[in-house]
Amino acid sequence: MEELVLNSFNESIKAKERFFTERNISAVIEASELIAEALKSGGKLMVIGNGGSAADAQHVAAEFVNRFEIERPPLPAVALTTDSSVLTSIGNDYDFNLLFSKQIKALGRENDVLLAISTSGDSANVVEAVATCRALGIKTIALTGAGGGELSARSDIVLNVDAVSTPRIQEVHITVCHIICELVDHILFKKVSA
């Protein structure tokens, strides 16, 4: 059992070390600047994903709306994964692949940014949401794994985790999201956590 614990821990560390290359560090900074600029200009952050990525979407939105590590005003962010009535009506009346794109058509504006989280990069409803954003002039950031899938070719900024294990990809994703939260706070409020 101890070996299993240590192997999982070491795999997580290695996935994070592989992610934080110069290219990805630059992309994380670029993503943070894009979000900060959207928020400064009256836009909002929309976050999407399925399963564990849906939970991460909610987590990220909460960090922006409430606070991350510093006291600051609430920032406009919304996880499009949380309204069960909207999700089930779209899934039932239309198609599961339209869950996010219909919400983006209703709520999205040109100054907004979409953070699309998919460990495979091929989640059909996430890919459809990114296509909808492109049509509406909304910038997109993809957080993916295992090669990036379709999202890597369709998104404005791609943060790809070089791993195939879903848990390891998700562990890197939440680390990246926390760093983005910290950078956005720094950009907007010139403060960093201690």
Cα first-last separation, the chain? 36
How many domains does one find in the chain? Answer: 1
Does some domain include residue 194?
A: no
Domain of residue 156, CATH code: 3.40.50.10490
CB atoms within 10 A of CB 8: 14
Per-residue pLDDT of the chain (194 residues; tens, 9 = 90+): 999 999 999 999 999 999 998 889 999 999 999 999 999 999 999 999 999 999 999 999 999 999 999 999 999 999 999 999 999 999 999 999 999 999 999 999 999 999 999 999 999 999 999 999 999 999 999 999 988 999 999 999 999 999 999 999 999 999 999 999 999 999 999 865 55
Does some domain include residue 22?
A: yes
Domain that holds residue 45: 2-189
d(CA 52, CA 115): 15
Does some domain include residue 131?
A: yes
**This prediction's pTM:** 0.95
List C-alpha distances in Å: 62 to 45, 83, 110, 165, 172: 11, 15, 22, 26, 18
